[in-house]
Structure 1
Amino acid sequence: SAPSKVALADGSLVLVEELKLDMVCAVRTGEMILADGVVVKGEGVVDESALTGESLPVKKTLSSEVRSGTVVQNGYMEYRVTKTSSESTMQKLCQEVADVQADRGEYAQIVDRFALYWTPFILVSAALFVVISGAVTKNWDDGLYRGLLLLVLACPCAIVISAPIPAVCAIATAARHGVLIRGSSVVERMGLVDSVALDKTGTLTRGFFKVVGKLVLAETAELADAAMACAAAIEEKSSHPLASAIVSDFLGCIADGDKVLPPIRKVQVIDGVGVSGWAQINGVWKYCEIGNERILEKHGGTAYATKAQLARIESFIQEAGSTVCLLVAVDDDVMLVMSMMDEVRPESVQFVSILQKQLGFKVSMLTGDTESVARYISDVVNIPSDSCFYRLMPADKMSWIRAQQHMTENSDVKGFSGAIAPTTYSPLAPPPTDHAASDAVIDDTTAGEEGFGVRKSRKNTTKEVHAVTHREFSGDVKPHHVLMVGDGINDSTALACAAVGVAMGAGGSAMAVTAADVVLMTENLLMIPAAVQMCQAARAAMIQNCTFALGIKVVAIVLAVLGYLKFWHAILIDLGSLLVVVLNGTKLLQYKVFEPAAAISNDGAKATAVGSSSTTYNPIQQA
């Protein structure tokens, strides 16, 4: 078990439960890291295999993140605590284990209900058999002997454990390789999957973007810089992969620059569009919106652009090709357009190929990105064009999954009745305490030194402006069991709606991880088809165990009633069936399906750049 006390940098010891944020802990070679944190001194090599399944140790240096439950193989480090013990990775895993142990799959529930009636039925039947047989034949000894045989043969031990053992063994084997399956019911559902839906950004691609082109529409370079500062400050509060690219482009190398992010307020995520908020530039609060073309007035947004500017924007997006383009609007005037490049994960092509060819699954891509980017990625990873769906809102993804699974609005989803409503996102950052404005939606006409700037007399709130009609989809004639893979906030409702939701836990959002049934603790996509094969084998073992245990019991009971079995026969059949069920279930602990996937190193493969041929625009020339 893990140690109960942790050493602080000053040499004192405190209980793990008493650790507070920003405390500095020390860890040496051979010791376990007991809290999540960031390295502030020293360096070392850490074994993270218990969490991620990655066999190679990971080097940790200054500013590297460390997670509880991992072990230092070599070195000395001091790390600042960033999560309390109740929120640490190790504690969450312990809670997940407890939840998994409490979960009972469908087969286990059926067996439990069967055993509930089976045992009293056999007890009553054996008693009636002894009474009737003794009364009819007058041979009470023989009747009692056969009655005891019935009781021995009817013991439901083999039947009761026929389903839980394969499920638990499958969960344990997957966990050893960095795939966290949340319960026996998930194992059973995952064994039925025949269709896979994939998110693009952060799933099929790495999700590490960089700005490769800019189109400046602002009148001066100073206004363009101010717009970029607003965008970077607001995106700094977002966890989306695009956000870090914008922040990095504005700040550059922190050691070589003196740029500072301006104060921001009221940061809000806009479903399927982007993010908005207020930033203070030169003492004046400016409303800033960063998102796709849906922020434009012509697409139902509030951002204004002249016809000439719209033509330049369309030309820029066309020349950018397969890159991702975002618009920046300040006080409802478009100031900037940025193109960003991502990379396709090196294993994505093989991952899709395994799903399609080896497992025979229907593979689709669901993304909120533009058609050009979506088509490019689908071509690279060999997803058919008719299975590539783009410009999808979070509710659109959920609608597509419902159509594939032939679900109605009131269908039960994973044990929860009622329709799943799109998630409502609260502001990402609370307002500063020294400002007088409230947390409510701000009146856009408010002005003055202590208030916000005026938004060009456009008074629609963000929620009203971006209200769109969600798309409807038609499913195949045969309903599918859909496995959804995603990593972002916008994937959460789809992950919850799918038969099985898989979250990219290594770099995914907390909301996606919470909504998912399976969490991939590594970046290796090939672990997903391996996990599916494991669950298919577990489900097959459950059916085999139930069929064998019940069948041999029925046959043996009939033979016992007819007088063909001795007492030692009954004991041998009962214990033998129990051993067969246990051995058939525990064989999954030796299942080697994860080894080929684990042997593939993502770092050694060559990634495909998305939009590597895009043109870089000079902001000054375009001003």
Structure 2
Amino acid sequence: MVTMSLERTEQPGVAVDLAIDGMTCASCVRRVERALGQVPGVVSASVDLATEKAHVETRGAPTSSLVAAVARTGYRASVLADDPDGAAEAELQRAREARGRREFWHAALALALALPLVLPMAAMPFGHELALPAWLQFLLAAPVQFWLGARFYRAGFAALRAGTGNMDLLVALGTSAAFGLSLWNWLVAGHGGHALYFEAAALVVALVLLGKWLEGRARRQTGAAMRALAALRPTTARVLIDGEPTELPIAAVATGDRVLMRPGERVPVDGEIVEGSGHLDESMVTGESLPVVRGPGQKVIGGTINQDAALVVVTTATGAETVLARIIRMVENAQAQKASVQRLVDRISTWFVPAVLAIAAVTALSWWLAGAGIEPAIIHAVTVLVIACPCALGLATPVAIVAGTGAAARAGILIRDPAALEAAHAIDVVAFDKTGTLTEGRPELAGLATAAGQDRRHLLALAAGLQAGSEHPLAGAVRAAAQETGLVPAVATEVRSLPGRGLEGVVVGQRFAILSERAAREAGTDDAELAAWAAAAAARGQSVSWLVALPKGEALAVLAFGDRPRPEAAEAVAALRRQGLRVAMLSGDHPAAAAAIAAEIGIEEVHAGLLPADKVQAVQALRQGGAQVAMVGDGINDAPALAAADLGIAMGSGTDVAMASAGVTLVRPDPLLVAAALAVAKRTRRTIVQSLVFAFLYNVLLIPLAALGQLTPVLAGAAMALSSVSVVANAWRLSRWHADC
């Protein structure tokens, strides 16, 4: 375990993460939260049974006080250090795996010792009397009860000392009652090998131990996606120092360092390529299965795989500031917080155990007063105590959230907190921004009309040459179109900008200009056919430029520019409609441009020409109409609307402000992930409800059966273990979810 000094005092507003060891049920969670909340300086504390962690917001609370508060409840706590390279998490995981191996051997040994006690009982229906001598039953059961089952006494006593109860207390009381009754019947009543319940006590302990091992194993599997992400972080980088590669620990790499990456290696840092180009496998970070081509000037993400070329990258972020570290942090924060339904379960758990103890006492008293005798009365009370362990209740929500957010992260969907998860499942309307969300966010040459007798290829090369040195987005679109057509741009000289009008230059002794619509009219262009074509393009919401020959202003061609829809946009809209959702577009663009894109991808409800405040009003109008609204955007201008919606969904290619305003961030700019995000949220919510219903029904139905004498302690122990394993297994199915919409 990597820990910080226990005497360090946290500064105001600092969050502290604790690893908690020994919790078994929702009652444990509630008790640890209450103990942490009573420490002076603690603002809030949230404990998660599935991840065995506590997230504490402090204002001046010493970490030693937090650890001591947890210790007083009977559990062990370690303060997790800042963990940019994943070392602390890896050590924590190793400790949990070691504990899992220990639990396995304890369960196996307990079952081996309990088996000889159970075999005679199993042989009775076939007419065989194989009762073991009382002394042998005692020798087999005692190690199970007091050595292998000691954990139940320790945790149960700690709960009593804290004035509450938990699963361990129920197991300890129930099995101790069965064991004590057996000792009484043997040593005092002289029943020999008959009328003893050593096998019940031993087998209940063995089954609970087996259930805890299976439960822990399944819990570890639900967190596999996050551990896979954490494992992507390399520990060293090959830094170029005076031109020579030197291998350094990641912690020693600084922003601005040049890092050499060889084929087949994981990218150690976030950075920008300055030398080389090749394919990178970004699937574990973005969810995109196909390798992508990256070259000079393009960014790389730490943890991805450099497949086929040597690259030199200038470091832009390391450690906790990398994309991968932020992804892991965001998902861990989501898993550490509680859904509202889990908070309800935690409150129920505070009175559940005392209520069970009362039911067990009433059961024993009722059977005794009814004349059944002390032995049946105690056995029925023991059965109530064993069957009522609230493990499944405590696990239902957290393991589903861990599994759901982990699976979503693997697909490139980052869910910030359970509140976003709960909002997502109830969405009725998905409102998209247009530019950069449904479209590529960069203009392309949508059309080029030439004057009579002019050669299209020649004019395109001419326009590309005039704009060879321009940084304007439309100039880039012209150059890209020329390159795609296989044209070599003309060589232009004396190029100069005409502010607000366009630019001009000389090609082969002739002066040409690329002008805006207004500037072209002022230059005297009078081609009626080109003017009509330009007007039609403008009506479609496209931007128009004119290529003219100077000094007469002879119109040679008209270029129209538009923003192309993302390839997945139409399919994304269709996928949302299949989920029964209404789709709208909220755009700040020209109404004609917005309408054209909306028609192309199948959106009928369009609100265009909106300022940021107008988008907020549009979202509020949708909500006032009774709809639960998800807003999808990527820009600074979308941030207010993202915050105003019931659920904000930000494209990962967008601005930090947009992502900070959103409850869900999509790692790659794929609108199909919007449908996938809502689908995984609904699936997670459904899994939580299924597990909670099962857990509540289990207790509601079986506690009365136990009180009425319809169950034995052994069957109760088996059923209790099965309930916890079933809940975790149900959540584990969720961890195998894949985005397929």
TM-score bucket (shorter structure) = 0.5 to 0.7
Q: 1:375 aligns with which of 595, 603, 615?
A: 595
1:354 matched residue in structure 2: 575
1:85 matched residue in structure 2: 319
* Secondary structure of the structure 1 residue equivalent to 2:430: strand
> Is the aligned partner of 1:322 residue 2:543?
no
1:391 matched residue in structure 2: 609
Which structure carries more relative contact order (alpha carbon 8 Å, separation 6+)? 1
1:324, 1:369 within 8 Å by CA — same for their partners in 2?
no
2:250 matched residue in structure 1: 16
2:682 matched residue in structure 1: 536
Structure 2 distance, partners of 1:17, 1:255, is 50
> Is the aligned partner of 1:578 residue 2:720?
no
Give the aligned residue type for 1:552: Y
Q: 1:365 aligns with which of 570, 580, 585?
A: 585
Structure 2 distance, partners of 1:318, 1:119, is 75
1:175 matched residue in structure 2: 409
Structure 1 distance, partners of 2:495, 2:635, is 28
**How many Å apart are 1:185 and its aligned residue?**
3.1
> Is the aligned partner of 1:145 residue 2:291?
no
Structure 2 distance, partners of 1:160, 1:23, is 48
2:627 matched residue in structure 1: 480
Unaligned residue ranges in structure 2 (runs of 5+): 1-230, 449-465, 484-488, 501-521, 525-530, 546-558
* Secondary structure of the structure 1 residue equivalent to 2:680: helix
* Secondary structure of the structure 1 residue equivalent to 2:310: strand
2:278, 2:295 within 8 Å by CA — same for their partners in 1?
yes
> Is the aligned partner of 1:503 residue 2:650?
yes
* Secondary structure of the structure 2 residue equivalent to 1:559: helix
What pairs up with 1:415-426 in 2 under 5 angstroms? none
Give the aligned residue type for 1:484: M
Structure 2 distance, partners of 1:103, 1:143, is 43
2:261, 2:267 within 8 Å by CA — same for their partners in 1?
yes
**How many Å apart are 1:569 and its aligned residue?**
1.9
Q: 2:262 aligns with which of 28, 32, 37?
A: 28
Structure 2 distance, partners of 1:118, 1:589, is 30
Instruction: For residues 80-104 of structure 1, give each alpha carbon's deviation from its aligned partner in whole angstroms, at most 9, with x where no partner exists.
Output: 1123433221221222132122122
| Counterparts in 2 of 1:379 and 1:577: CA distance versus 1, 3 Å | same
Structure 1 distance, partners of 2:496, 2:357, is 76
> Is the aligned partner of 1:404 residue 2:622?
yes
Structure 1 distance, partners of 2:273, 2:616, is 40
* Secondary structure of the structure 2 residue equivalent to 1:38: strand
TM-score of the pair, normalised by structure 1:
0.64
Structure 1 distance, partners of 2:331, 2:713, is 42
Instruction: For residues 554-574 of structure 1, give each alpha carbon's deviation from its aligned partner in whole angstroms, at most 9, with x where no partner exists.
Output: 111111111111112211221
Instruction: For residues 4-53 of structure 1, give each alpha carbon's deviation from its aligned partner in whole angstroms, at most 9, with x where no partner exists.
Output: 32111222233323322221011112322121111122333321111111
What pairs up with 1:296-311 in 2 under 5 angstroms? none
More helix by share: 2
1:485, 1:502 within 8 Å by CA — same for their partners in 2?
yes
Unaligned residue ranges in structure 1 (runs of 5+): 215-227, 237-242, 263-275, 277-305, 328-337, 407-474, 598-623
Q: 2:332 aligns with which of 98, 104, 127?
A: 98
Q: 2:343 aligns with which of 81, 100, 109?
A: 109
Q: 1:70 aligns with which of 294, 300, 304?
A: 304
Give the fraction of aligned pairs with identical amino acids, expressed as a percent: 30
> Is the aligned partner of 1:518 residue 2:664?
yes
Give the aligned residue type for 1:482: V
**How many Å apart are 1:135 and its aligned residue?**
6.2
Structure 2 distance, partners of 1:258, 1:70, is 44
Structure 1 distance, partners of 2:533, 2:415, is 46
* Secondary structure of the structure 1 residue equivalent to 2:277: strand
**How many Å apart are 1:206 and its aligned residue?**
1.2
Rg (Cα) greater in structure = 2
1:617 matched residue in structure 2: none
Instruction: Give RMSD over aligned pairs.
Output: 4.0
Structure 2 distance, partners of 1:550, 1:4, is 46
> Is the aligned partner of 1:588 residue 2:730?
no
1:58 matched residue in structure 2: 292
Between the two proteins, the alignment pairs up a number of residues equal to: 449
2:69 matched residue in structure 1: none
**How many Å apart are 1:200 and its aligned residue?**
0.8
* Secondary structure of the structure 2 residue equivalent to 1:363: strand
2:537, 2:543 within 8 Å by CA — same for their partners in 1?
no
Structure 2 distance, partners of 1:176, 1:355, is 21
1:191 matched residue in structure 2: 425
Structure 1 distance, partners of 2:496, 2:691, is 62
> Is the aligned partner of 1:4 residue 2:222?
no
1:19, 1:85 within 8 Å by CA — same for their partners in 2?
no
2:335, 2:401 within 8 Å by CA — same for their partners in 1?
no
1:323, 1:339 within 8 Å by CA — same for their partners in 2?
no
